Amino acid sequence: MKKIKRTFVFINKWGFYTFVKECIDRIVDHYYEMYFNIDTTGYVTTEELKSEHPDWGGYGAVYYSYMINTLSKLEVDIPSSTLLDYGCGKGRVLAYAASRNYKKIIGVENSKFLMERARENIQKMKHRRTSDVLLEECDAQNFQIPSSVNIIYFYKPFGGLTLERVIENINFSYKKLPRRIYIIFWNDDEFEKMIINHKWITQTHHSQPHPVISCGIYETNP
């Protein structure tokens, strides 16, 4: 009964079309989880993560269909690209990227619990084509971005001072070796406000695939 009630509440709030789309997205998620033989589902609160850092949020993963569609918009040569996922969580983006033959994939995660799940998923995943996958358990603001990184992915893992310092680190890496860097940031309102006066980066695409989920794609300027 509770599920039926939630269904009617959802339809009443967002409409039948969004409900059908949501059902399809969940079916697609289930397919990819089985295809890769991983488990990146569910939501984990900050309390469950035992996180006391005010900048960090809980864990949740964006739908595969949204993630795949967004990554497909980047004009990059995948076999020569390095993808960095900040707040990689249980490793959904890492697993998909590893199946696409990126040159290197890096996951940065502050939570020991989530990092353990990510390691397990990458180790047991099927259809892996990228062997060079680096998982770093650390505070994101202390991670030094390698000069090979040209794609940076955020599913809004943190905000505040941590995000400010990570943006500074991206800028530093870019200045050290000027190159085209693509940045994907989900629910990017705070990110947009922080880089509004930055001349080295520009938003090139914005989408709203879900009533409560938005995405911005940014590029460093040549």
Residue 21 one-letter amino acid: K
Average pLDDT over residues 168-197: 95
pLDDT more than 70, % of the chain: 98
Q: Is the pLDDT of residue 8 over 70?
A: no
pLDDT more than 90, % of the chain: 79
Average pLDDT over residues 129-150: 96
User: Which domains are seen in the chain, by residue range?
Assistant: 46-220 (3.40.50.150)
- pLDDT tens digits, 116-134: 999 999 999 999 999 999 9
